[in-house]
Every structure is written in C-alpha cells, then in structure tokens.
Structure 1
Amino acid sequence: MLKLFAGALAAGVALLAPLVASADDLVTNNRIGLSNAPNKLVFRMTTDGPANNMPETAEGYKKLFEDFIKKHPDWQIETQLMTGDIGQEQARMLEQAKSGSAPDCAAVDSFVLPLFKKAGVLKSFSPYFKKEEVEQLFPFIREGVTGSDGQIYAWWWSTDLRVLYRNKDIVPDAPQTWDDLKKAGLASVKKGMEGILFNGSRYEGTTFDWVANFWAQGGDLVDKDGKPVFGEGDNKAKFVKAVNFYRDLVESGAAPKRVATIGNYDDFNAAAAAGTTALFVGGNWQLGQLKSTLDASEFAKWTFSPLPGPTQGERSTGTGGWTVASFSSDAKKVAFCADIAREVYMGPANEVQGQLPTRADLYGKYKVFSSPENKAFGEALQKGRARPGAPVYPEISNQIQIMMGKVLTGAEATDKAVDEAFAASMAAYQRLK
C-alpha cells in the first residue's frame, strides 16, 4: 500500500510540475517552456524578447513569454538570437530557407520581406488570422505581408519612424530645415558637443535614416515595376542633393567624422548619457530607452521633432518594423508560430517595448499609445513612407551604404559614388528579373 501511495504521489508531482515551474525554469537564455515538453519549435529572434538590452523591457518580455508558454505547456521554444548585423542575418536566413534549413519561426525585417515572398519560402498565416484583424492593419502594412496570391505570409506587428532628438538646453528650437539643422549642429559644437549624430556605416539604418531626405523632395528609389530609378533624370538630381546634405554636415563640422563608423542606435543613447551630443537622428523607440537610461533631470532636457527637410514644407520619415513568419513544413509548427505572433507580439509586445502597433484599433486599447509623445509619433507617421516592396531594395540599400562610406569620408566625389551605386543596383535588378 505504501509503495502504491508513493508511486501515486510521484505521478501526481510529475503531473503538477509544469504548473509549478518557476519563471527561471520556463524562460532561460535559449529556451522557453519545459525542457521535456513533447513539441519543440525553433524561433530565431532579435532582441525584441527576453534578451533585450534594457532590463525593464527584458523583464516585460520574460513575463509575456512565461504567460504564453503556460497556456501552451506541451510546447518548448528553442530560441536563437540574431546578431546586430541585421542585413547579414536576414540574408543568411533566406539562404537557409531556400535549402530547407531555416528555423521553424523567425523575425523577418520588413525591408527584406519582399525577397522572402518572392523566394516562396514562407508559409501562409491566412488560416490563423481573422479577416477583421487583417483589415485593421495600416494599408502599407497589409500590402507588405500579402502575397500575389492574396495569402498572408507574415505578421507585421510593429512599426516605427525616424525623428530628430535634441537636448533643449543646447538646442532650444526644433530645426525645421536642413539649413537649420546644420546651424544647430555647429552651435552645439561651440558649446562643447560633437555635433549631430546619425548612422553612416555599412548598416541598414544608414540607408533608412537618410533616405527620408530624398523622399522629402518627392524622389523615388524604384518605379512601379520595381526597377531602380534613383540614378537617372530628376530623381538623380534629388538623390545627389540629399547625399550632399549629409556630406556638408560632416565637412562643415556640424557632424563628426566618426558618423561614417556608426551603425548602431545604442551609440546615440550612450552619447546622450555621456553628455557628448545634443542632436541625433533616431527611432521613436529610443525615447523610452533614454527615459530608462538617463536620470529624470537629464531626461527632462530631451525632446524630439520631425526630421527637417530641404524646406519646411518638404518632410518625410521612414516607417519600418518587424514581422514574425514561419518556414516550417509542419502545420502544427506554423500554427504555433502564428500563436506567438498573435499572443505575444500583436499588442502585448507593443506595449512592453513602446513599439508602435500596426493595427489602428490597438492605439485605443493600450494607454501608452494615447500619451502626448505617442500621439506626436502617430502624427509624424502621416508623413511616413515604407521602403519599396521590391526584391531589389536590399541591394539598393547595400549600395547606398557603400556609397555613403565613400562620400562621408571624402574618398570619392558624390556624383561618381551615386553613379556606381546606381549601376550596381541596376545589375542586381537584371539578375533578379
């Protein structure tokens, strides 16, 4: 009898184990869920998760994933963390997907989503999202995730935009034009700062932060067929003008030469914390990071405003964001990946990280998005523009990054660097046709 009782007790404890597991057991550095769960999914993620470099955000994600996996106790998620070299990471994952060795579920950057769709490696999410949910997506988001067959091939859960951050003690008034920004940068240098900071190295952020200066003039990177057009006719004149704007910032001293080596938004937060800059081009999400990084009295000095344009009436900003997509041939894993997108990222993660939702109805659901700051971001989105959904865009971006390095270091004349970037982009377009 005692043996039977002991056996029954052990079995009961085993059955209860998943229910009493601690958060540390459920969310580890490389696993979410119990190690003995019968179903396993590999999820390659960015730092939009428990590995976020902001402790408060990391804890928020840990709680989200803990709550999620408790609802799915028969699953474990093996997590793989991408490096900060997003372009290289996404290119590697695309090749893995083509060879059948990609993760089951992954974060796919919106700017390369067209390449993944064209390659036919993504699994349809259409069965897992209601028509009403899809209809609530902003038009450019809905277009981005939809294939030529009308199926939904990823869930684009967050969007963002670029703004100009400034220390009000050093730069009291928001620069409205390129000229204003140059003057503000030079004035900040006279006050002991290093001038305006922006991404300028081999990094997708370099292209995306800068291209708003081209778009503000009405320029187009590609035509309606996805063919590069930025290096010809009126587009070229606007493109060269926008490149020379950045070049002049460096050559005049309004921006430091080191911008040619910057390829990480964290550098701007660090410079703000160190008190070495009063101006930088950054993403809307950095407001929350500054708040977490700086003392309250220092944070109170910082604000943001729309990116300046060539004139006050010519403005634009880039709108990007991340998606969740599945490469698995196992229908159960595709469905579970969709569950992650819906239950963790679509709304809850937006709130935790302050990432702007892609569904209009979510702005009224979460209090954080009704703040004056987020309302201002929402208004700035009205001038926003997404990267073109053309397969050649990643190569255009790559060539712009190379071009920017030549220009910002003074290694090459602007016109020559632009011509080379355009020729390389056209060659890529011909290969992709």
Structure 2
Amino acid sequence: MKNKAIMLALLAGSFLAAPVVAAAQDLITGDIVGKADAPNKLIFRMTTDGPRNNEPAYAEGYSKLFNDFIAKRPDWQIELQMMSGDIGQEQARMLEQAKSGSAPDCAAVDSFVLPLFKKSGVLQSFSPYFSKEEIGQLFPFIREGITGDDGNIYAWWWSTDLRVLYRNKEIVPDAPQTWDDLKKAALRSVDEGMEGILFNGSRYEGTTFDWLANFWGQGGKLVDDQGKPIFGEGDNREKFIKAVNYYRDLVESGAAPKRVATLGSYDDFNAAAAAGTTALFVGGNWQYAQLKTALDEEEFAKWTFSPLPGPTANERSTGTGGWTVAAFSKDAAKVKACADLAREIYMGPANALQEQLPTRADLYEKYEVFSTPANKTFAEALKVGQARPGAAVYPEISNQIQIMMGKVLTGTQATEAAVDEAFTASLTAFKRS
C-alpha cells in the first residue's frame, strides 16, 4: 500500500512529463498525431483526457482512439497542446488568445467558463455537425449550457461529474446525513489516528465548486436571472455565511486538518486514502474508478461513497460540472474536424474509457460500464444536481470565494467580513462587464 501511495504522489506531478503510450500502428509521434507531411493540420489544446493521461491504461486507450481517428483521415494531422494543472489560469489565457485571434483551432473548455467564451463570440457553431436527436438526448442543464442566444450550440459538453462524500467503512460505517453527523464522524476518525475529513480549500476552482453544495442545499442563489450577484443579500447572505461557518468549524474543531487551506488537487485525496491517513474526503465521482485502480482489492473494498450531507438530511445538493470541446478556428474544415473529434473520441468512447459520466441519457444504456450500481447511483444523482450558473460573472465569483475561503480557513478574518468583501468584489466585477 505504501508503494501505491508513493506512485500516486509521483503521478500528481507535471502533466507534461507523462509519456505517450504506443498503440498498434501508432501514428502518434511526440505531440503530433498523423503523418508529418499531412496537408491539413488541427491544433487541439487539451487536458490529460488524452494520450498523455497519467494512468497508463487510460493513456493507451486514448492513444488507440486518436490513432483510429486519424487513420480515417490520412490527410490530417493533429498537434496536441497540453494544459497545465492550473485550469483557471489556462482557460483565462485561452480566452484572451481567442479574442486576439491566436487561440488553438480546437480546445477543451471547462464548463464553468463556457459562458464567458460564448459571451465573447469567439466560438464557432457546432449545430451543423450534431443532429437534433443527439442534442435532445442531453440532460437539460447540459443542453442549456452549450446553447447560445441564437439557438445554436457552441460546444459539445461530453462529460459531467458530481461531488460525493467518500468514506472508509471500517472507520465510518454509516453515511453521515447532516453536517453535524459528518463532524462527529470526522472527529472519531481523528481519535483513530486519522487526520479528519479532507476537502479542497486553496485557490482552486474545486474549492468553490465542492463547497457550493452546502449553500445550494439550503436553497441559496449566487446570481439573479440577469446574472447579477445576490449571494451577499438578505436570506442568501445568511445561508452563505452558515455554509462558510460549517467549513470553518470543521477546521477549528479539529475535524479537518489545517492543511485543507493548502489543498487544491483531488489527487491528494487519493494519495491519502492509499496511505491510510484519512477516512473521509469530499471528492468527484470519477475518483471511485481511480481508487479501484490505485488500491489493493482488500483496501478498495473498505471504501464507499454517499451523498454530501446538508444542514439537515433534507437540505442537500451536489455540483455537476464537466468538460466541453469547442472550436475557435474560422476555417469550416477545421471546425468540422473539431466536431468530429468531439463525436468520435469523446462522446461515448472516452466516457466509457475513463468512466466519466456521459451527458446523453441514452449512453447509459449503450455502455455496460455505466450499468454498475455505483454509476447508476451517480446517474440518478445527476437528476437533482446543480450546475454552476451560466453567468459571465461566475468565474470572478468563484475567484472571490476562493480568496474568502483562504481567509476563513486560516482564521485570519471573521466570516461575515470575508463574505461581504467577496460579495462587494463580485458586484464590482458585474458592473464592469
């Protein structure tokens, strides 16, 4: 188990260091897929959802998908550009490049910043390349997220996810139903020599998104119908402060370690589970498959997941996110190639490869992997999940929540003052937009 923990720690390092895994009739050379003299070239900027995935089995699977894709198009070449782990910064940089005309032809766009890209008018329509039936099979929040004011779709949102509470059943046998239940369970785990519950708390989008369920579960709203921030007003402010104080109390009581204020990677939770230093963490559904790969069979059998608890058992929510593929190039042939890539590699095959939840309801029946009890549970939870608001100001709201959380978790500022500062800064950003 110790060796697996060391391996996970190493895998949490640079994405760029990961090797491309060869496949049969490999057409991948370094960052190039296809023949060097191919007359057509598509630049695709991507996350590790591809041949450079840190998990060798996923890397090999993606290598085959990309090889098969380009084998059908011998006159095309794909240049793979890798993003760093700082997704927020990467997406902001790509938006500026798109505005100046220097963006890649095709790229992975995180769903939480898609509204900014749509509002800026830098994306090309995918409507000609996806049928009404395909679009109709998308979950409603997915379909709404990719559709522009003109009714066209401007990206293909291929994977979604949700947040759950992972727990070691030997230490925490019963699923915590409320915040108080979770605090008590975490403190018991500390008594067992663990470090308590882990969650993201640093300057990282995951910090905001993982925590928001505690606000949404109370019925709180970040913005109004016009996209104006309202989380610092009236009842919303009370609910917001209550949710922030929940996290603050976890740290101050010792139910969560002080180091959560520095955590900004789900890999850290996998590593802690493998090392046996935690029995509880807030994570994404995709981590269930990762834990199965990383842990010995006996150790994995100890782990399960349950819905995130709320202030009461009836006040619950979970965040639903995911990745899209979108085109920036104005060359029609490249836009089609980008759409084809989204369809043939990501819409279904990549979901099944990585067990990333599909955004089309019909794909849950098509792929056997999604018929498992775990994935059926995840799919059911999507029906009550909540996506980040499609407001252009959301990224700045998230940024301010991250700053606020740092102040609160380290005890350097009172909750009310930190919340009010975050709200004021968000309103200022909205008025500038």
TM beyond 0.5 = yes
SS of 2:108's equivalent? strand
1:186 maps to a residue whose letter is L
Distance in structure 2 (CA, Å) of the matches to 1:238 and 1:22:
52
Q: Which residue of 2 aligns with 1:362?
A: 363
What are the Cα deviations for residues 110-141 of structure 1, in whole angstroms up to 9, with x where unaligned? 00000000000000001111111111111110
SS of 2:198's equivalent? coil
Distance in structure 1 (CA, Å) of the matches to 2:208 and 2:25:
39
1:177 maps to a residue whose letter is T
Q: Which residue of 1 aligns with 2:256?
A: 255
Q: Which residue of 2 aligns with 1:14?
A: none
Is contact 2:202-2:260 (8 Å) kept?
yes
Q: Which residue of 2 aligns with 1:186?
A: 187
Is contact 2:202-2:263 (8 Å) kept?
yes
Q: Which residue of 2 aligns with 1:427?
A: 428
- Does residue 72 of structure 1 match 2:78? no
CA RMSD of aligned residues (A): 1.0
Is contact 1:285-1:354 (8 Å) kept?
yes
The number of aligned residues is 412
Q: CA deviation at 1:29?
A: 3.6
Q: Which residue of 2 aligns with 1:84?
A: 85
Distance in structure 2 (CA, Å) of the matches to 1:79 and 1:227:
37
- Does residue 371 of structure 1 match 2:366? no
Q: Which residue of 2 aligns with 1:141?
A: 142
Q: Which residue of 2 aligns with 1:289?
A: 290
Q: Which runs of 5+ in 2 are unaligned?
A: 1-21
Q: CA deviation at 1:68?
A: 1.2
**Counterparts in 2 of 1:296 and 1:235: CA distance versus 1, 3 Å:** same
1:349 maps to a residue whose letter is A
Q: Which residue of 2 aligns with 1:4?
A: none
- Does residue 119 of structure 1 match 2:125? no
Is contact 1:315-1:383 (8 Å) kept?
no
What are the Cα deviations for residues 338-359 of structure 1, in whole angstroms up to 9, with x where unaligned? 0000000000000001000000
2:261 maps to a residue whose letter is A
Distance in structure 2 (CA, Å) of the matches to 1:233 and 1:329:
46
Q: Which residue of 2 aligns with 1:416?
A: 417
Q: CA deviation at 1:23?
A: 4.2
Q: Which residue of 1 aligns with 2:32?
A: 31
Within-5 A mapping of 1:29-428: 29-428=30-429
Q: Which residue of 2 aligns with 1:18?
A: none
Q: CA deviation at 1:425?
A: 0.2
Given the two structures, how large is their TM-score scaled by the length of structure 2?
0.94
Is contact 1:29-1:51 (8 Å) kept?
no
Q: CA deviation at 1:27?
A: 2.1
What are the Cα deviations for residues 28-60 of structure 1, in whole angstroms up to 9, with x where unaligned? 441111222111110000011111111111111
Q: CA deviation at 1:73?
A: 1.4
Return the index of the structure with the highest Cα Rg.
1
Q: CA deviation at 1:25?
A: 4.2
What are the Cα deviations for residues 74-125 of structure 1, in whole angstroms up to 9, with x where unaligned? 1110001101111000000000000000000000000000000000000000
Distance in structure 1 (CA, Å) of the matches to 2:186 and 2:307:
16
Q: CA deviation at 1:22?
A: 6.6
Is contact 1:25-1:34 (8 Å) kept?
no
SS of 1:107's equivalent? strand
Is contact 1:144-1:389 (8 Å) kept?
yes
SS of 1:141's equivalent? helix
Q: CA deviation at 1:382?
A: 2.3
SS of 1:174's equivalent? coil
Q: CA deviation at 1:383?
A: 2.2
Distance in structure 2 (CA, Å) of the matches to 1:290 and 1:82:
24
1:282 maps to a residue whose letter is G
Distance in structure 1 (CA, Å) of the matches to 2:24 and 2:77:
14
Q: Which runs of 5+ in 1 are unaligned?
A: 1-20
SS of 1:416's equivalent? helix
What percentage of residue pairs aligned between the two structures are identical?
A: 79
Is contact 2:200-2:260 (8 Å) kept?
yes
Is contact 2:269-2:281 (8 Å) kept?
yes
**Counterparts in 2 of 1:180 and 1:337: CA distance versus 1, 3 Å:** same
Distance in structure 1 (CA, Å) of the matches to 2:344 and 2:33:
15
Is contact 2:202-2:261 (8 Å) kept?
yes
1:204 maps to a residue whose letter is E
